[in-house]
């Protein structure tokens, strides 16, 4: 996996049986990263539980610290500890939310506002030998999205190498509308820029034709479909971290697929977006 020095491991009610802790142990073993265990609880004293987990992990050769904390909400607690501890990766088990999301779920807010990479764990399968799926949005050609696309594929490539798995790439592109096609111009010509971008990424990362999954349609439907067909162990995706009213109403693809994906979900942001979110947290 990419270079990480500190993992923030968010423990839920399951504590020692946490999928997040299981995944963190594997990542820490492979990377040598330090683990900081966090229990977000304002009602019960979890000191003894954390001490027991820490002692067990230290005995097994891991570098570990721990704490119990609570602020205004779950995601705000996690963000505060992530900043205080300087963690490079937040690992949390994701539990599906209800179908009616009038208010953004806590995990959505974590994905939206956390300045570092977030791994949402959804299963206990080993990554070793599995399919690592990189989900990119080729349709957005601006500088921010291009940087994010290459970052997503690069991280997925490194995970696939570390896990001795296979890298696949999925991307959805919109169907051309008649209004967008100049007179006498074929639809295939309109899609040519997409094709060129696919080929460029394919050549750069040495991706086989069989590992490319490109189709028309909405990304939030295509990505889970391809992940299920491939039985992917982890899907790497990016977020542009929308804020305010537009973000609350529109969300983004990472949030939209979080419940429907059966794989683990690794969510990345560009350095520029991360810097903006750090500044936002520092302002309070």
For the chain, the structural domain boundaries read 1-93, 126-284
Average of pLDDT values for 112-116?
90
pLDDT tens digits along 129-140: 999 999 988 766
Average of pLDDT values for 266-283?
75
Asked if pLDDT for residue 102 goes beyond 50, the answer is no
| pTM exceeding the 0.75 threshold for the entire prediction | yes
d(CA 52, CA 16): 9
| Residues ≥6 apart with Cβ < 8 Å to 275 | 115
Pick one of 1.10.3720.10, 1.10.10.60, 3.40.50.12370, 3.40.50.2000 as the CATH number of 126-284.
3.40.50.12370
Residue 246: pLDDT band (50, 70, 90) is very low
Q: What is the mean pLDDT of the chain?
A: 82
pLDDT tens digits along 73-93: 999 999 999 999 999 999 999
Residue 183: pLDDT band (50, 70, 90) is very low
Reference 56, options 67, 64, 68; nearest CA is: 64
Say if CB 122 and CB 94 are below 8 A apart.
yes
Instruction: Choose the weakest-confidence range: 156-160, 162-166, 260-264, 273-277.
Output: 273-277
Say if CB 212 and CB 134 are below 8 A apart.
no
Q: What is the spatial order of strands in the sheet that 34-40 belongs to?
A: 64-69, 34-40, 6-11, 89-93, 117-121, 264-268, 234-238, 131-135, 166-173, 212-216
**Which CATH architecture fits 1-93?**
3-Layer(aba) Sandwich (3.40)
The token pair that represents 91 in the structure block: 């690992």
Q: Do domains 1-93 and 126-284 have the same CATH topology?
A: yes
Residue 232: pLDDT band (50, 70, 90) is very high
Asked if pLDDT for residue 185 goes beyond 60, the answer is no
């Amino acid at each position: 996996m990419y270079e990480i020095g500190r993992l923030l491991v968010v423990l839920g009610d399951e504590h020692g049986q946490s999928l997040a802790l299981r995944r963190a142990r594997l990542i820490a073993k492979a990377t040598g990263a330090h683990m900081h265990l966090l229990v977000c609880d304002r009602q019960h004293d979890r000191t003894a539980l954390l001490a027991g987990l820490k002692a067990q992990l230290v005995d097994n050769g891991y570098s570990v610290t721990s704490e119990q904390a609570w602020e205004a909400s779950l995601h705000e607690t996690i963000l505060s500890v992530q900043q205080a501890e300087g963690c490079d990766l937040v690992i949390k088990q994701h539990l599906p939310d209800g179908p009616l999301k009038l208010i953004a779920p806590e995990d959505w807010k974590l994905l939206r506002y956390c300045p570092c990479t977030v791994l949402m764990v959804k299963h206990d399968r080993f990554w070793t030998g599995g399919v690592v799926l990189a989900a990119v949005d080729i349709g957005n050609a601006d500088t921010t999205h291009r940087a994010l696309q290459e970052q997503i594929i690069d991280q997925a490539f490194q995970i696939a190498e570390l896990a001795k798995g296979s890298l696949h790439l999925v991307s959805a592109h919109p169907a051309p509308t008649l209004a967008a096609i100049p007179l006498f111009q074929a639809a295939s010509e309109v899609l040519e820029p997409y094709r060129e971008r696919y080929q460029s990424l394919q050549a750069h990362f040495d991706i086989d034709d069989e590992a490319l999954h490109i189709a028309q349609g909405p990304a939030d439907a295509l990505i889970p479909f391809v992940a299920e067909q491939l039985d992917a162990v982890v899907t790497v995706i990016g977020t542009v971290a929308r804020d305010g009213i537009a973000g609350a109403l529109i969300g983004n693809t990472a949030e939209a697929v979080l419940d429907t994906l059966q794989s683990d979900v690794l969510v990345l942001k560009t350095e520029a977006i991360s810097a903006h979110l750090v500044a936002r947290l520092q302002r309070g």
